[in-house]
A and B are shown apart, each in its own frame.
Chain A
Amino acid sequence: MAYAVVGAGTDADLASGGALLFLAAVLVGHDVVWMAAVLTVGAALTRLPLRYGPPVRAAAIVAAAVTVVGLPLALGFGRPADNPSVLPLPYGRNLVAVLLAVAGAALLSCLLRWRRAVAGRKKSERLSEGRPVVPGR
C-alpha cells in the first residue's frame, strides 16, 4: 500500500490530486448514494408476497449490475465523432432489451411459482375432500 501511495505521488503521468478526488468520489458515491438506493429498493421488495421474493430479488441484482456496466455505453459520451468503430452499437436499445429479458425471466419464474402454489392448493383440497372422516379422531 505504501508502494502504491509513494508511486502515485511521484508518477509524473498521474495528476495525483485528481486521482485522490476520484477515489473519494467513488467511495462516497457508493457508500452514500448507491447504497441508499439499493437499501430502499431492497426494503420495497420485502413487501412482495414471500413466494415471489427470490426471483424478483435475483432479477434486481442482475439488472443493477448490467446497468452499471451498460449505462456508460448507453449514454455514449465516449463516442468520438470521427471514429464509427468505437461504440458502434445502439447501446440504449440493447440495454433496455437485456433488462426486459431479465424482467421477463423473473416474471416467468413468478408465474411458475404461482402455478405450483395453485396446483399444490388444489391437490391439498382434493386430498382433504376425498379423505374418509373417522369419527373420534
Chain B
Amino acid sequence: MVRHPGPPVTGGVAVLRRLVRWCLAPLPEPPTALRRGPMRAGVFRSRLRSARLTSQLGVALGVVFGSCFVTGLLSHLIQHPPGWFWWPAQPVGLYRFTQGLHVATGLASVPLLGAKLWSVYPHLFSWPPARSVAHAAERAGTGLLVGAALFLLVSGVLNVARWYAPMPFFFTAGHYWAAWLSVGGLLVHIGVHLPAVRAALARPTSESRPDGLNRRTLLGGVAAASGLITLTTVGQTFRPLTGVAVLAPRRPDVGPQGLPVNRTADGAGVRAAALDPAYRLLVVGPGRSVSLDLAALNRLPQYTAELPIACVEGWSATGTWTGVRLGDLVALVGADPRRSSALVESLQVGGRYRACTVPPEHVGDPLSLVALRLGGEPLHLDHGYPARLIAPNRPGVLQTKWISRITVPGSP
C-alpha cells in the first residue's frame, strides 16, 4: 500500500496553489535602457524620507481618515436610512458635532496626506515597476488608494467652497463611493505593510543631522499646518473660535435673521408660492386631513426651542425657533406621534431635497417644530417662510423649508 506523504490535494486547492505560484513568480525585468528620468537610481536624495516617517504619517492619517469615514458614513445613513438604522432625536447637537468633526478632520488631513505622499513619492518610480503579478496588483491598489484619498480631500475642499464646476458628477455620491474605495484600499494597504510599519516604529533611530532638519521638524511643520487650518476654519461650527475663523466658508452669525442660508427662496424657485396669500399647509393623516392657513397655524399652541441648523458642509448655527409641534399636527389628523413617521414636502416642485421623512422618534419629540418664527420674528423667506421643519439632531438638508404638505402614512 502506498501512503501519500501529505494531505490529499483536491482539484480546487491545486488550482489555487498554481494561481498563487503564478502571482508570485518573478516577472522578467524590463530592459535597463528604459530606466530613465525619475526611475534612475539616486534621483530622490532627501535623507528626511524614512520608513519611520512614512509609518508615523500613515498611522496619523489612518486615524484621521477613519474618523472622517465613520462620521461621513453616519451622515449618509441619517440621510438615506436603511431599515435597521436608528438615529435618536437626543442629544440635540450630536449631528452638529459629528459633521463638524467630519469637515474639520478632513481639512486638517490635507497637510498629513501631502506629507505622506511626499514621503513615498520615490516608490512611484521604483525599478523594476513590477516584480511579480502580485506586486503589480498591490501597486495598482495603492494607486487607487492614493487617487481615492486625493479625490476625497480635493472634492471636500471644493464642496465647502461651493465650487462645483471642476466636479463633473454629483458631489455627494462621488464623495461617498470614493470613501468606500479609500477605506477598502486602506485596509489592503495596512494588511500588506503592517509588518514593515511595526518594524519601523519599533526600530530606534538616530536623529542627529548637521542642518538640524530632522523627522521631528517635518512632523512639527505638518502638525502646525493642520493646527492652523483647524484654527482658521473650525469657528464655522465652534462658536468660541468664530473670531479667528478667517478662512471659514461660513460665519454662524452671518445671514438673514443672524443665521446662514444654504438655499434661497429664489434659488429654489418658491418665492411666488411662499408669498401667495392663498398659502395652505395640508396635513394628511390616516383618519382625516386638515388644511391650515398661516392664521390657523398661528392659533395652534406655540412652542419655542433653541435648535441648531447643522449643515452637511460642516457649519452650524443655533436659532430660537417658535412654531407648532410636529407631533401636535400629526395628532390633529388622528395619528399617534410617538409611532408615526411623517413625509414633509416643500413648495419646491423639484430638487433632491424637496421632501424628507421624519421618523417616529423625531415626530414624537417635543422639540420638533413646524417653525413659523425665528428669534421672535416671522421667518425670513430664505429661512422657509411661511413654515419650515426644525427638529433636533438632524442634518440641515432634512430640515425642509417652505412646507406645503405633511403626510402621515399608516392605518387609522
Seen from chain A, the residues whose Cβ lies within 8 Å of a Cβ on chain B are: 1-5, 7-8, 11, 13-19, 21-24, 26-27, 30-31, 35, 38, 42, 50-51, 53-54, 57-62, 64-66, 68-70, 72-73, 75, 77-80, 82-89, 91, 94-95, 97-98, 102
Interface residues of B in 235-271 (CB under 8 A from A): 246-251, 254-256, 259-264, 266-267
Complex: how many Å from CA A66 to CA B232?
Answer: 9
* CB-CB under 8 A for A88 and B178, given A31-B124, A58-B217: no
Is A15 a contact partner of B168 (Cβ separation < 8 A)?
yes
Q: Which residues of B contact A59 (CB under 8 A)?
A: 221
Can you name 27 A-B pairs with beta carbons within 8 Å? Answer: A8-B173, A19-B151, A19-B169, A22-B151, A26-B154, A35-B118, A38-B114, A50-B211, A54-B211, A54-B212, A54-B217, A57-B221, A58-B224, A61-B222, A65-B228, A65-B229, A69-B110, A69-B233, A73-B249, A83-B263, A83-B267, A85-B250, A85-B256, A86-B262, A94-B246, A95-B247, A98-B232
**Secondary structure of the A contact surface, majority rule:** helix
Q: Does B66 contact A (CB under 8 A)?
A: no
Q: Does B60 contact A (CB under 8 A)?
A: no
Q: Does B355 contact A (CB under 8 A)?
A: no
Q: Which residue of B lies closest to A64 (CB)?
A: B114
Of A14, A60, A61, A78, which one neighbours B173 at CB under 8 angstroms? A14
Is B155 a contact partner of A22 (Cβ separation < 8 A)?
yes
Of B151, B220, B248, which one neighbours A89 at CB under 8 angstroms? B248
Complex: how many Å from CA A13 to CA B76?
Answer: 14
Seen from chain B, the residues whose Cβ lies within 8 Å of a Cβ on chain A are: 46, 107, 110-111, 114-115, 117-118, 121, 124, 141, 143-144, 146-148, 150-151, 154-155, 157-158, 161-170, 172-174, 177-178, 180-181, 184-185, 188, 210-213, 217-218, 220-222, 224-226, 228-229, 232-233, 246-251, 254-256, 259-264, 266-267, 382
* CB-CB under 8 A for A61 and B221, given A1-B185, A88-B254: yes
Q: Which residues of B contact A21 (CB under 8 A)?
A: 168
A120 to chain B, nearest CB (A): 14
Q: Which residue of A lies closest to B166 (CB)?
A: A22
Is A1 a contact partner of B188 (Cβ separation < 8 A)?
yes
Is A82 a contact partner of B163 (Cβ separation < 8 A)?
no
A109 to chain B, nearest CB (A): 11
Interface centre among B110, B169, B226, B259 (most CB of A within 10 A): B169
Is A58 a contact partner of B220 (Cβ separation < 8 A)?
yes
Is A22 a contact partner of B162 (Cβ separation < 8 A)?
no
Is A22 a contact partner of B225 (Cβ separation < 8 A)?
no
Of B172, B220, B247, B263, which one neighbours A94 at CB under 8 angstroms? B247
Complex: how many Å from CA A33 to CA B401?
Answer: 44
Q: Which residue of A lies closest to B44 (CB)?
A: A39
Is B158 a contact partner of A72 (Cβ separation < 8 A)?
yes
Is B177 a contact partner of A53 (Cβ separation < 8 A)?
no
Complex: how many Å from CA A60 to CA B222?
Answer: 10
Is A7 a contact partner of B232 (Cβ separation < 8 A)?
no
B284 to chain A, nearest CB (A): 28
Is B225 a contact partner of A23 (Cβ separation < 8 A)?
no
- 8 additional A-B pairs beyond A65-B226, A98-B228, beta carbons within 8 Å, are A14-B174, A61-B114, A65-B225, A68-B110, A69-B107, A77-B163, A89-B251, A91-B247
Complex: how many Å from CA A120 to CA B98?
Answer: 51
* CB-CB under 8 A for A1 and B162, given A85-B254, A97-B246: no
Q: Which residue of B lies closest to A3 (CB)?
A: B180
A40 to chain B, nearest CB (A): 13
Complex: how many Å from CA A23 to CA B62?
Answer: 20
Of A13, A61, A77, A80, which one neighbours B267 at CB under 8 angstroms? A80
